[in-house]
Amino acid sequence: MISSFYRDKVLFITGTTGFVGKVVLEKIMRCCPDFKKIYVLVRPKRGTAPIDRVWKDIFSSECFNLVRNQPGFKETVKNRIMPIEGDI
């Protein structure tokens, strides 16, 4: 089963501020909630911290409505979603 594969895994996702990246991240958070950590690559923007971009550009999206209403959502993001500033 897919959820058992991702249990206790550390993931790295690029493109999470784009449409497809958001959908992939939401699907993993919703269907495979036992992941250990997810590192997300976020392109730098002048005057904006990576974690602020994560909240503004990713988690404010409508595709996170179901996940955002789950108990412990903010703690999950704070402790298990790790933004990495970079550009590839």
What's the pLDDT band for 75 if we cut at 50, 70, 90? very high
Domain ranges (residues) in the chain: 2-85
* Mean pLDDT across the chain: 93
Task: Give all strands of the β-sheet with 81-85 in edge-to-edge order.
Answer: 10-13, 37-42, 81-85
So what's the pLDDT on residue 44? 86
Reported pTM: 0.90
Q: Is the Cβ–Cβ distance between 25 and 40 less than 8 Å? A: yes
